A and B are shown apart, each in its own frame.
Chain A
Amino acid sequence: MRRVRFLIWKELIELGQDPRLLAIVVVAPIVQLLALGYAATTDVRNVPMVIVDADRSAASRDLIARFSASPNFSLVDTVSSPDDIDPYLERGRAWMAVAIPPAFGARLLRAEPQALQIVADGSDASSTNVALGYATNLLAGYAEEMAGRAGGAGRAGAIELRVRVWFNPRLESRDFMLPGILALLLLVVTTNLSSAGIVREREVGTLEQLNVTPLRRWELIAGKLLPYAFVGMIDVCLVVAVAVFWFHVPLRGSFVLLFVLSMDYLLTTLGLGLFVSTISSTQQQAMMTSIFFFLLPMMFLSGFIFPIENMPAAIQAFTYLLPLRYYLVILRSIFLKGVGLETIWPQAAALTLWGVAILSLAVVRSRKRSA
């Protein structure tokens, strides 16, 4: 046990000697957090649009004013004919065009039904959907208002819908994504660095020197992985602090539970790092493998950005193999739902199981004596 302390001490000195690496490991998470925190919104605001006003009446100007006033839209230009919208959409200067037909105002006064065309740029699918929704809502509201003014029963408002959103009433994307990025960051920092670090010792020759000493295998492994676990723990505290105090992401559950389960997660990421080091012969291989073979699929398939329930059944089954999936659920549950172990114990158990499995596999492969 005493000997492991020397290994950790050596590792920390080396880490301290490379200030650039240290900076990266501490600064990068913060930069990514800040960028993601500010960039991640699903609200689609300031959608650039053009309006075709073929009517030029008080009514059409009124409608145009409403679009202008809405925070969801940014009116780029008003044109007089539908043919004029091509260049805007082609160049991407506008995503949407609403075409107000001639005699719009007149028909409105006569309470005569008419149709408005909305042309949307479908190449940005997700935003388009949402933008269309906004436009539809705005027009529907306008229509109802006009119908009311035109008098008559119109519609006695039949069914109203009240929506209550749990856990994230402001529907802040960032509250959903920031906890997720903690998981990703830990993966990048601990897996990548630990695998590359071990391979580097192998390349330089000091690993061989360590193998010749009476150090036991578990001591060597612990000495290599614990420092990175330490770094990981610092990152956890850092990220949680920024998320909670800077971005006001709610932390409704227990921080202690979060910390403990994060250590659980680190078991898997470090085990993965060790495993990657046993299948890589150069540092480049180690880093590329951990990022492209493991991080990438995990990032896309674990529910970080794309919901798992949208995936085909076969792939959904596969996602049960991803420790990141469980950790994400744990993070979001603790942050947003404030639940405790009694609800998320299945995920915690799965994570622990996974961690032990991969760490064991990696340890078995890390023999002091080559075959």
Chain B
Amino acid sequence: MTRVLRTIAAVGRKEFRQIGRDRRTLLILLVVPVFTLLLFGYALNFDIRHVRLAVDDRDRSAASRSLIAAFVNSGYFDLVASVDAADATRRIDRDEVRAVLVIPSGLSRALQTRRAAAVQVLLNGDNANTATMVMGYAVTIVRSESARYAGPAQPPLISIEPRLWYNPELRSALFLVPGLIAYIAMITAVVSTALSVVREKERGTMEQVRMAPLDAASFIVGKTIPYFAISLASALGIVLVSMLLFGMPMRGSWPTLITVLSLFLLGALGLGLLVSSIADTQQVAFQVAVLVSFLPTIMLSGFVFPIASMPRVLQLITYGVPARYFLVALRGILLKGVGLATIRLELAALGIFAAVVLLLASVRLQRQWV
């Protein structure tokens, strides 16, 4: 047993040293996550503000001015220009404005005679996300403005009191951070592992190592331990930095967090090994590794697009994406403070994934080893 451990340690040490000497890769593994985190925290979010609005006011009455003011005062819109119909087209084409409010000339009169009047909002729909939200804002603003003319101020029959749990300010940053961790961990763990094994395959150093009284398992374990350690450190680093800089809450327990992280990373490493058993050249290894880690983690894990809205077929596929379970578990621990028992389903899924890929990888690599 000690001999096995010693060989693992030897291989691991060599790998660590190799990583240490490749300053560029080290930089990428450690610095890029932090950089991306800062990006997410300070620059990127889904909240829409400062929507550039142009107004085509054909009524020019107190009522129309009041409506325009309502838009501006909402805090979401920036009044950029007054336009006419032809101008509006050009401005939207050129992306100079995102929305045009068109107020017909009979607005004021209609309101005075208690008839319905319709205003129009032209939206630039090329970014559907943005357009949906802008539309929502517009609807709300018009509705509340409209209520002022609805006769004696009456409380609505049914009012809504929204309460947000876990993330009361709906800060995108908090939502994105768990996704970011998954993403970074996946990419670095999968890609680095795949590349490191394939590189040895390419260079033929695998042959040399095989000559030594070293079995495949010890070799593989020794090779992946450094990447496991680095990815884990990276992930924890991201959590800590988010807590410090962005006030991200950590409502769960650290041991739970580390358990979930480790399980997820184990699966990622296994995936990297599986990829390395398929590819013969570094270029192929890299492309495949990125394909199986990047794509599912971003698109199919619920990180950006909600799974519930996807077509059935795709939803079924997402059951095989570990990031999906990881995100739920991570968000649970960070934002909801849940314990291991609550996320047992997710833990089981992560465990099964890790076991399956590791098994497949070891079978394939063992065969290639002999």
Contact = CB atoms under 8 A, between A and B. Distances in A.
Interface of A: 18, 20-21, 24-25, 28, 31-32, 35-36, 38-48, 74, 89-92, 108, 111, 113-130, 132-133, 135-137, 139-140, 142-144, 146-147, 150, 153-169, 171-173, 175-176, 188, 192-193, 196-197, 200, 280, 282-285, 287-289, 291-293, 296-297, 300-301, 305-307, 309-312, 315, 329, 332-333, 336-337, 339, 343
Given A20-B284, A24-B287, A123-B336, A310 B126 contact: no
A125 B174 contact: yes
B304 to A, nearest CB: 7
Interface in B272-292: 278-284, 286-288, 290-291
Contact of B175 (A42, A124, A193, A296): A124
Contact of A143 (B156, B282, B309): B156
A40 B307 CA distance: 10
A27 B308 CA distance: 27
Tell me which of A127, A167, A292 has the highest count of chain B C-beta atoms within 10 A of its own C-beta.
A292
B129 A42 contact: yes
A123 B191 contact: no
Contacts of A45: 308-309
Contacts, number: 348
B356 interface: no
Contacts of A157: 116, 146
B167 A125 contact: yes
Interface of B: 22, 24-25, 28, 32, 35-36, 39-40, 42-52, 67, 92-95, 98, 107, 111, 114-133, 135-136, 138-139, 142-143, 145-151, 154-172, 174-175, 187, 191, 195, 199, 278-284, 286-288, 290-291, 295, 299-300, 302, 304-306, 308-311, 313-314, 328, 331-332, 335-336, 338, 342-343
Contacts of A153: 151
Contact of B164 (A21, A122, A154): A122
Nearest to B330: A123
Contacts of B67: 159
Contacts of B314: 35, 38-39
Contacts of A163: 120-121, 123, 135, 138-139
Contact of A171 (B49, B122, B132, B169): B132
B24 A20 contact: no
Contacts of B145: 159
Contacts of A44: 306, 308-309
Given A39-B300, A164-B123, A311 B44 contact: yes
A33 B54 CA distance: 35
A167 B124 contact: yes
B118 A160 contact: yes
Given A143-B158, A301-B39, A41 B309 contact: yes
Q: Which 5 A-B pairs have the closest CB atoms?
A: A122-B167, A168-B125, A155-B150, A159-B146, A143-B158
Contacts of A192: 286-287
Given A164-B123, A165-B125, A297-B35, 12 more contacts: A43-B309, A47-B308, A122-B175, A126-B46, A130-B133, A147-B157, A165-B122, A168-B131, A169-B125, A288-B191, A292-B187, A301-B39
A210 to B, nearest CB: 19
Contacts of B115: 156
Given A46-B308, A122-B164, A301-B39, A116 B159 contact: yes
B139 A25 contact: no
A90 B332 contact: yes
22 contacts: A20-B284, A21-B283, A24-B284, A119-B165, A122-B175, A125-B170, A126-B172, A126-B175, A155-B154, A157-B116, A158-B146, A158-B149, A164-B123, A165-B122, A165-B131, A165-B135, A280-B24, A287-B195, A312-B43, A315-B42, A329-B95, A339-B93
